[in-house]
Amino acid sequence: MRESHASASAITPTGITSTAAVPTASGSVNSKASPFNYGTDIMRGVNLGGWFVLEPWITPSIFENTNDTNIVDEYTFGEMQDSEQALGILQNHWDTWITEDDFKAIKAAGLNHVRIPLGYWSVPITSVDTNYSTSVAPYITGAWPYLLRALNRANENSLHVILDLHGAPASQNGFDNSGQRGSANWANDSTDIGRTLDIIRYIASQVGGMVNVIELLNEPAGWVADINAAIGAYWQDGYEVVREVAGNTNEVMIGDAFLGVQHWESFMLPPEAYNVTMDYHQYQIFNYDQLELSLDQHINYSCQVIDTLASYADSNLNTITGEWSTAMTDCAKWLNGRNVGARWDGTYAPGAPVLGSCEGYTGNMSSFSDEYKTFLRKYWEAQVQIGESIQGWVFWTWKAENADEWSYQKGLEGGWIPQDPTDRLYPDICSGSSQVDI
């Protein structure tokens, strides 16, 4: 299908209009997702991070170019600068960050899925669709047509889409990747949960046929009491919304909410629910205990996760590792937030311990030693074995401006990720590993 464009107006929350060309859905009829045998065939995919939800570490230049260090997430990006200027920047980003060539390259790399994070503010729900507030100020709206084009491009390249609600009203985790850094207030008020369900309803009704999987919410903060109390019912209600609106075609994805998969034993199984997948995220860089692991210990820890996840998946929900990377440090600039340093080199907080230098562990791969690249390959293979032992895996992320250890694209170029994801240099890397609780 050939792409077409039309001149359209995009309205920001403050009412400022841009006359920049906005893509149509790449044709008069939206494409249909092709079927995938979930639970039988292995999902092998990559996240398209930093596209429809800004993350300072993925695209630091967008934030640096504001010349305002108070702009730390997409919320403040719209709040603390001229709205028309912000809209123009975002439209260019939406148009260029992931292109048709990227979808072709992802397919050529032997992958079969893309996971597309989306913020609630980009879903053009109106008062016709909900009794709750539809205001998203100060977020900048207008991404939806670009999303539709992305879904068509994915389908045209036989890539199955996981559409992931990555940011909810009032933030479900307080991370900058939820759109608003700070506190996780999503469950403080039941209206935000109800509003989120109506957003899921809109997504299912408008693009349910274009995607294979609808992920109800990314990484809700289960350590927050109100969210812990609400998330189980939200998973069930969200499932019912998708089934009511879109039927039984879509896989519905939920997450462990940082509570561990064991917390969800016997949850949402048939006949209560069908075609539900658990999304587990595997990182080893956000606490000191894991950062202190040696290279071999990082690999061994990954291998030890296999039995825990496989045991859960065998008797509960289909399970994937929906986010993971080859990073063994938190050295990528602003990975912990804009203006926040790294635990690894002691810049995270005053008086923080120093584990080592970040030199040679992040940034451009030209600085990576052969030893480090060998580790990256081994680490990639070990973590792929986790996903292949269950129902699949989705790497985070396809590209980043200056963090090649996080980039699938750069991993292919640098050789630590194989051109064929089933190729192995270390097929026995996980032999003899024991189980670890997660």
Tell me whether residue 374 is exposed, middle or buried, using C-beta atoms within 10 angstroms of its C-beta: 0 to 12, 13 to 18, 19 or more. middle
Task: Using the structure block, give the residue that is written with the tokens 């036989």.
Answer: 158
For residues 103 and 156, what is the distance between their CA atoms, to the nearest angstrom? 9
Give the DSSP H or E segment for 11.
Answer: strand 10-11
Q: Identify the bridge partners of residue 254 per DSSP, sorted by sequence position.
A: 278
- Asked if 210 and 31 touch (Cβ cutoff 8 Å), the reply is yes
For residues 87 and 99, what is the distance between their CA atoms, to the nearest angstrom? 19
**Smallest Cα–Cα separation from 164: which of 35, 266, 71, 255?**
255
- Asked if 166 and 48 touch (Cβ cutoff 8 Å), the reply is no
Catalytic pick among 156, 251, 333, 405: 333
Question: 370-389 vs 295-315: helix axis angle to the nearest 10?
Answer: 10
In this structure, what token pair is assigned to residue 379? 């680490």
Catalytic pick among 156, 219, 388, 405: 219
User: Which residues, including other chains, have CB under 8 Å from residue 405's CB and lie 6 or more apart?
Assistant: 325, 326, 327, 328, 332, 361, 362, 365, 368, 376
Q: 3-class DSSP state for residue 235?
A: helix
- Asked if 13 and 141 touch (Cβ cutoff 8 Å), the reply is yes
Is residue 333 flagged as an active site residue? yes
**8-state DSSP, 335:** T
Is residue 219 flagged as an active site residue? yes
**How do beta strands 5-7 and 113-119 pair?**
unpaired
Assign residue 268 a region (left: φ > 0; alpha: ψ between -120 and 50; beta: otherwise): left
Question: 190-207 vs 144-156: helix axis angle to the nearest 10?
Answer: 50
Q: Identify the bridge partners of residue 160 per DSSP, sorted by sequence position.
A: 113
Catalogue the active-site residues.
Answer: 219, 333
